[in-house]
Amino acid sequence: MGTGRWGINVVRSFARLDTVDLTVVIDPDPAALRRARAAAPGVHSASKADDLRRRVDMVSVCTPSADHPDHALALLGQGLHVLVEKPLAMTPPRAEELVREAALRGVTLMVGHQLLFHPAFRRLEELVAEGAIGRVVSLRAERSGLADMEREPDVLWCYGPHDVAMILSLAGAAPLTVTAAGIPRRDGAGFETAAVNLTFASGLDAEIRLSMVHSGRVRRLTVLGERGSALFDDGMRGGRLTLLGKPVAVGPGEALALECAHFVECATRNVEPRTGGAHALLVTRVLSAAVSSARLGGETAVADARGEYVIAG
């Protein structure tokens, strides 16, 4: 559902999987549908989603971010397994609603945090777990590049999910505090640049710097340990991982293809995905707290006993 700039990549990935039949592509744009049919010859196309339950088992949602919750809720309500592009939702209550609906229907809900499936990031996780750089003390993420300002109104929701998802995975816990600052867009629709700081109970801290107006394309995650550092650079073609300044060999595979295959496997076997509802809800809570903090001039949001973030006063 949604075969635009990113959705067409998802179409190609599912078309190449031998574990599923790509049955239907949906988009209101005739040109987008033509591209999808070219990528997946023989697939049925439609301009809108009707009752899909009789025709498919699972759906991938690649529509604009603001539409994700409504589309996902309708599909989950039909008893379909759903893969939603990031972000799952742009408010915690909507994300919670989707998690509840998936549990009620007994179906798989997964979110497209594709970098968690990148072979270089998976190898980075292994190296950190093995103690290759000693105890991790700090994480630093940078992500910038020109973005479609009409389609993506806020840098925190456009670029932020990638880095928050990776940091949460490496930290293995929810942050205690979230603090953010940003430069608002001229139209006031959101932030065009942002800096986010996270602190964790372990003493780990993380910093994320985002820009959707900087022409230079930067995609870096640096992990600082007591005995050295590691760098995951997904701005490089195919991604690159270095440890103590030296290149590290990683396994084969393309992140999106691995993500799609994982979704199919989880839906088929009825197991919780690596980027399932609980993970996506935490990412949503952290980003929502960052937005609130930035709007209030950098006030710190603190996790309460329920895992929700509250700004005092």
pLDDT value at residue 250 = 95
User: What is the SS3 string spanning 238-273?
Assistant: CCEEEECCEECCCCCCCHHHHHHHHHHHHHHHCCCC
pTM attached to this predicted model: 0.95
d(CA 50, CA 104): 22
- Give per-residue pLDDT as tens, 12-64: 999 999 999 999 999 999 999 999 999 999 999 988 887 676 789 999 999 99
| Domain 116-254+277-311 indexed as CATH 3.40.50.2300 | no
Output the six-digit token pair for 12: 């190609």
Q: How far is CA 44 from CA 9, 26, 33, 47, 119, in A?
A: 17, 9, 10, 11, 33
- Give per-residue pLDDT as tens, 280-289: 999 999 999 9
Provide CATH code, domain 7-114.
3.40.50.720
Sort 216 into a burial class: Cβ within 10 Å, 0-12 / 13-18 / 19+: exposed
- Give per-residue pLDDT as tens, 131-150: 999 999 999 999 998 776 66
Q: How far is CA 217 from CA 57, 98, 212, 258, 313, in A?
A: 37, 33, 10, 24, 38
Query: What mean pLDDT is predicted for residues 162-182?
Result: 97
Ramachandran class of 307: left when φ > 0, alpha when ψ lies in -120 to 50, beta otherwise: left
Q: Shortest CA distance to 278 belongs to which of 110, 75, 87?
A: 110
- Give me the residue spans of the domains in the chain: 7-114, 116-254+277-311
- Give per-residue pLDDT as tens, 78-114: 999 999 999 999 999 999 999 999 999 999 999 999 9
- Give per-residue pLDDT as tens, 193-218: 999 999 999 999 999 999 998 878 89
pLDDT value at residue 149 = 60
